[in-house]
Structure 1
Amino acid sequence: MSKPTMIPIRTPNRPKGRAGRRALLAALVLLTAFSLVYIRFDAAEFLLGIPIFIRFLFEDFLPPNPSHLQGYLKPVVDTLIYAVIATFCSSVLGVALALLMARSTTPHPSVRTVLRGLLSLLRNIPFLAWASLLVVIFGVGTTAGLIALILFGCGFLARLYAESIEELDRDSIEALEACGATYGQRIRHAIIPQFLPAFYSWTLFMFEINIRASAVLGLVGAGGIGSLIKQTMDLFQYGKTSMVITIMIVMILAVELVTNQIRRRII
């Protein structure tokens, strides 16, 4: 008995899908070309500037100058303190606003709508823009930088906290509601225990962001290690600038390492 002949199955081509991908790629290339023309990007000037940049980097900027290393200690400590205070204040305010904004805990839908609009404003304005505005109001110093970090962090955390609360299991909440529990009892016994892992994770992440942000706030006169960068750059002391940036990089990496270890242990 002869074996049945196997007929190969051909996969149908998808010309429409290929044409769509090609059209999308062509549109992306055209958009990029238009953007380069619009901003008057000069490729020749860019290529000629590369050797100048490399020469500056290795002749003026590197190696770092550690001659005034002890004088950098206070700005580094100030930067860490800014981040701690800003993270604490923004997390406390963020939890309160998140409870009012989350669908499962808001007292009224209108409260949620108003708060979402207000926090979108706080979150979408960059912290450097907040710092620049607050420097005009409060003057040069730490107050403007701290308030800028708190405003930005509050808007950022409140939204993330609210989304985390909305994703919690509702079985325990509904069980407490069926037993006649008050609003505060539902928050304490059903919401908070489930919300704590997300709270720790996002708060530690916000602390890392605040370290980076507070390190550059000095560029607008808001204090911290960024003020050293601006000062040394203005005085053309590029070796000292390189040293300050190196300290900032080491500090950020150390903070990330510590927060990752804390996150693994408590979450």
Structure 2
Amino acid sequence: MQADIFIKRRNGGLLFFASLAILTAGSMIITEYDVLKGFTSIAGALIWGFSNFYPDAGSMQKLGDIMLKLRETVLMSIASTTVAAVFAILLALAGSRTTRMNNLFSVAARGIASVFRNIPLVAWAMVLMLAFSQSPLTGYLALFFGSLGFLARAFMETIDEVSNNSVEALQATGAGYFHIIFQAVLPSSMPQMISWLLYMIETNIRDATLVGILTGTGIGFSFELYYKSLNYHAASLVVILIVITVIVIESISNKIRRVIL
């Protein structure tokens, strides 16, 4: 019996990797991708990068302007994520199996979360640009809608994982809906929700760079401006500052998670 199970798993694995290999080969043929040229060009790209893509004395003179744009990007990411979290909690409470008021609200909340979560951030930015053109509001709303879908889904799963013992105990005493929410559900779920919120802030700071390129705002716009003007030294300074900022934010988030979880 165990031998048959092992053979089935092995055959399934071989079938998967064979299908993956065929799909990869077919994609390379259709796109006319030259694997050898791709690998051999890596060395040339690295040489060019080390020769041109580094901060110099001239780029350091732009540090003040770059830092202002970086601050704008970080604050926009934090603001959009925290506001989205508030609305996500409302959707999660309506959609969760533990706290839903009725099936209609639950299906609607889960549907909204699913739609918003499956629309890429780039698509949000491009659609919103049609209404608000290139502006900080466009970038803010793109991050907001992207965060709303992800956080709503994450919060629903968090609430569903909460032990029902405390909820059932309060229901047995005749406690009302909102009393159960504020006395049992949210206190139990809040540490994990905060962890998801911190993760989303980290992600949005990274994504805000791409959104800035599309919407002409923040640190992404600065990178695009310097890169298109062939000022690679200033562009490299932007990249380095983004990396440092993400590392610092991630370190702070990890410390907070260790405290609350």
Question: Normalized against structure 1, the TM-score is what?
Answer: 0.89
- Partner residue, 1:62: 54
Cα distance in structure 2, aligned partners of 1:21 and 1:263: 37
Give, in angstroms, the shift of residue 17 of structure 1. Answer: 5.0
**Does 1:89 pair with 2:83?**
yes
More helix by share: 2
Amino acid at match of 1:70: G
Cα distance in structure 1, aligned partners of 2:10 and 2:100: 48
Deviations 1:34-77 (A, max 9, x none): 12112221234424533442332122223554231122121011
Amino acid at match of 1:81: L
- Identity score, percent: 31
**Does 1:113 pair with 2:107?**
yes
CA spacing shift, 1:66–1:109, aligned 2, 3 Å: same
**Does 1:146 pair with 2:140?**
yes
- Partner residue, 1:212: 206
**Does 1:195 pair with 2:180?**
no
Check whether the contact 2:134–2:215 (CA below 8 A) recurs between aligned residues. Answer: yes
CA spacing shift, 1:23–1:184, aligned 2, 3 Å: closer
Give, in angstroms, the shift of residue 127 of structure 1. Answer: 1.3
Return the match for 2:161 from 150, 167, 189. Answer: 167
Return the match for 2:34 from 28, 42, 58. Answer: 42
Check whether the contact 1:100–1:106 (CA below 8 A) recurs between aligned residues. Answer: yes
CA spacing shift, 1:43–1:103, aligned 2, 3 Å: same
Q: Please identify the structure whose Cα radius of gyration is greater.
A: 1
Deviations 1:202-245 (A, max 9, x none): 11111111211222221102411111111111111111111100
Return the match for 1:182 from 157, 176, 185. Answer: 176
Give, in angstroms, the shift of residue 12 of structure 1. Answer: 6.5
Q: Structure 2 unaligned runs (5+)?
A: none
CA spacing shift, 1:217–1:21, aligned 2, 3 Å: closer
Check whether the contact 1:216–1:225 (CA below 8 A) recurs between aligned residues. Answer: no
CA spacing shift, 1:43–1:113, aligned 2, 3 Å: same
CA spacing shift, 1:22–1:209, aligned 2, 3 Å: closer
- Partner residue, 1:32: 24
Q: Secondary structure at the match of 2:134?
A: coil
Q: Cα RMSD (Å) of the superposition? A: 2.0
Cα distance in structure 1, aligned partners of 2:8 and 2:128: 54
- Partner residue, 1:75: 69
Check whether the contact 1:122–1:151 (CA below 8 A) recurs between aligned residues. Answer: yes
Check whether the contact 1:157–1:202 (CA below 8 A) recurs between aligned residues. Answer: yes
Give, in angstroms, the shift of residue 135 of structure 1. Answer: 1.7
Cα distance in structure 2, aligned partners of 1:159 and 1:72: 35
Amino acid at match of 1:24: F
Check whether the contact 2:84–2:144 (CA below 8 A) recurs between aligned residues. Answer: yes
Give, in angstroms, the shift of residue 19 of structure 1. Answer: 4.3
Cα distance in structure 2, aligned partners of 1:154 and 1:48: 43
Check whether the contact 2:55–2:234 (CA below 8 A) recurs between aligned residues. Answer: no
Number of residue pairs matched by the alignment? 257
Cα distance in structure 2, aligned partners of 1:201 and 1:44: 43
Cα distance in structure 2, aligned partners of 1:135 and 1:15: 54
CA spacing shift, 1:123–1:23, aligned 2, 3 Å: closer
Question: Normalized against structure 2, the TM-score is what?
Answer: 0.91
Comparing 212-221 with 74-83, greater Cα deviation is found at 212-221
Cα distance in structure 2, aligned partners of 1:37 and 1:47: 17
- Partner residue, 1:3: none
- Partner residue, 1:102: 96
- Partner residue, 2:258: 264
Q: Secondary structure at the match of 1:216?
A: helix
- Partner residue, 1:229: 223
